[in-house]
């Protein structure tokens, strides 16, 4: 008797498994790597990605991987690798994807030769352990002198910028990245470095503000009458709305006598004026709020020689609080002098076609702002990504306190060590570790190919002697 077929999975479910599926997954990853590996290094090419709406031009590995909209489930793991590298280190996103693809290619050869995936993984972990020990022996610590260590940090940032669009001014931006990171706290929270983008001008017009700068917020009548520069101002930070609002949506008032209407209007005006008086009595010269500051409050502050700005972005407000030492207030019933921030200079300046508010000479100075300039929006966006990579590299270098050689040198040395190590062991693992060593050579080989050279050429060949 024929048994009926049991259906355990949803219709259309793919149950492929075994060696053919492994090779299929590896091939999908290799196809992705082939698309991105030409962007590696200082001679790598930029990719233009058009998704039907926007056009992006970049050679940043994580950006390209995110924009590709990859659907293959195995190939998506490469996107996760690039994101993890971008979050943890900042730079090297293309390198890790290319290296992962080459390791998969070597694994494919081992699988076709009949080696079990478990053996390959065990050998890879053994090779990783040897490579990490070798890295610890090869790393060069930073000098203890502050000026010398700063120079090394600048060189690290220059290396990160060498393959970017702004490489012609890499020294200028590397110094900017180093100074920005060294102003932060010990936790080095990169959210405390604000990057603002203003179209127009040249790259050299970009500035690093030792403090906070943000774009002028939406303003009401009376704003132009306010003073735009204060020396040693007191800064009041609020999370309070300072404007009259129609309460028809929030409350209902029923009157028995029309004369009572005026008392309700007077009560609303009294509430807003009480808030404004408390702001003035606090002694603040600059009032910032996350919520709107209406035209009544703007004119009120202008008449009393106080600058105000409403609808300040949350990240800008947090950086102002950290830099000036102020505390954001959600009530004006008690505003002691301790909650007011301070700085040496507040002023509003013109930056390109925009107006920016600058807080400089802050007492804590644990935050910085970089204002990027450039001729086109695409250029500035790529400069932003490049500078973020440089900043992350400086942070990572400070944390580790040491560096290794670049340009494929460290990969070739690790490949040499692993080849020697593979000869000391027996069995199938020897072949896998030898493949791991070959995979490391992809970095210098791809750098040479992207530069237009033949990676198998020997540059040490002597030139023939001239004869007379």
> Residue 307's beta-bridge partner residues?
286
Nearest to 63 by CA among 31, 97, 30: 97
Cβ proximity of 302 and 222 under 8 Å:
yes
Tokens found for residue 351: 């930056």
The rounded distance, in Å, linking the Cα atoms of 278 and 130 is 66
- Tell me which residue of 213, 214, 195 sits closest to 360, measured CA to CA: 213
Told to judge if 389 belongs to the known catalytic residues of this protein, a careful annotator would answer: yes
| Cβ burial 204-217 (10 Å sphere, 16+ → b, else e) | eebbbbbbbbbbbb
Helix, strand or coil, per DSSP, at residue 72: coil
Q: What angle do CA 100, 104, 105 make, to 5 degrees?
A: 115
Please say if 93 is a catalytic residue.
Answer: yes
Whether 94 is catalytic is yes
Q: Which of 157, 166, 164 is nearest to 403 (CA)?
A: 157
| Of the candidates 288, 251, 295, 296, the residue with the CA atom closest to the CA atom of residue 270 | 296
Across-strand partners of 214? 357
Tokens 């983008």, residue located: 197
Q: What sign results for the dihedral spanned by CA atoms 355, 360, 364, 366?
A: positive
The first and second tokens of residue 411, run together, are 């990969």
**Active-site residue identified among 38, 39, 63, 93:** 93
| Cβ-contact 432, 119 below 8 angstroms | yes
Question: Alpha-carbon distance 436 to 418, whole Å?
Answer: 8
From 39, 94, 183, 367, the catalytic residue: 94
Catalytic residue among 86, 91, 316, 389: 389
Tell me the CA distances in angstroms from 228 to 225, 281, 347, one per residue in order: 9, 20, 5
CA-closest candidate to residue 376, choices 193, 207, 199 = 199
Burial environment of residue 261 by CB neighbours within 10 A (0 to 12, 13 to 18, 19 or more): exposed
The two structure tokens encoding residue 254: 């029923």
Burial class (CB in 10 A: 0-12, 13-18, 19+), 125: exposed
Give 259's DSSP letter: T
Of these residues, 60, 86, 91, 316, which one is catalytic?
60
The catalytic site residues sit at 60, 93-94, 389
């Amino acid at each position: 008797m024929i048994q009926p077929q049991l259906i355990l999975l949803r219709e259309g479910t793919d149950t492929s498994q075994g060696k053919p599926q492994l090779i299929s997954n590896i091939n999908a990853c290799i196809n992705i790597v082939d698309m991105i590996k030409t962007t590696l290094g200082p001679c790598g090419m930029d990719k233009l990605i058009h998704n039907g709406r926007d056009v992006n031009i970049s050679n940043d590995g994580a950006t390209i991987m995110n924009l590709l909209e990859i659907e293959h489930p195995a190939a998506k793991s490469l996107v996760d690798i690039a994101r993890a590298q971008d979050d943890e280190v900042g730079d090297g996103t293309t390198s890790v994807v290319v290296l992962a693809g080459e390791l998969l290619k070597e694994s494919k050869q081992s699988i076709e030769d009949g080696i079990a995936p478990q053996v390959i993984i065990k050998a890879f972990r053994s090779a990783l352990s040897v490579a990490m020990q070798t890295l610890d022996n090869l790393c060069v610590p930073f000098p203890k002198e502050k000026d010398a260590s700063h120079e090394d940090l600048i060189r690290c940032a220059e290396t990160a910028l060498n393959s970017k669009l702004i490489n012609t001014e890499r020294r200028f931006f590397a110094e900017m990245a180093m100074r920005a990171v060294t102003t932060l706290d010990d936790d080095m929270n990169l959210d405390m470095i604000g990057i603002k983008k203003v179209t127009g001008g040249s790259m050299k017009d970009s500035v690093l503000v030792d403090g906070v700068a943000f774009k002028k917020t939406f303003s009401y009548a009376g704003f132009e009458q306010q003073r735009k520069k204060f020396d040693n101002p007191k800064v009041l930070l609020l999370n309070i709305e300072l404007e009259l609002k129609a309460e028809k949506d929030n409350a209902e008032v029923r009157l028995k006598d029309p004369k009572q209407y005026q008392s309700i209007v007077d009560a609303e005006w009294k509430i807003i004026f009480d808030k404004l008086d408390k702001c003035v009595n606090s002694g603040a010269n600059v009032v910032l709020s996350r919520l709107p500051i209406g035209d009544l409050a703007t004119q009120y502050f202008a008449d009393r020689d106080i600058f105000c700005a409403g609808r300040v972005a949350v990240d800008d407000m947090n950086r102002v609080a950290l830099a000036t030492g102020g505390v954001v207030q959600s009530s004006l019933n008690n505003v002691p002098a301790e909650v007011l921030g301070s700085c040496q200079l507040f002023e509003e300046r013109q930056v390109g076609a925009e107006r920016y508010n600058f807080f400089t000479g802050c007492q804590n100075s644990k935050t910085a702002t970089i204002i990027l300039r450039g001729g086109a929006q695409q250029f500035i966006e790529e400069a932003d990504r490049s500078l973020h990579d440089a900043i992350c590299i400086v942070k990572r270098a400070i944390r580790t306190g040491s560096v290794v050689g670049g340009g494929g040198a460290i990969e070739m040395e690790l490949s040499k060590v692993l080849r020697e190590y593979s000869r000391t062991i027996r069995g199938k693992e020897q072949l896998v570790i030898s493949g791991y060593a070959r995979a490391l050579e992809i970095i210098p080989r791809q750098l040479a190919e992207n530069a237009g050279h033949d990676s198998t050429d020997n540059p040490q060949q002597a030139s023939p002697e001239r004869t007379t």
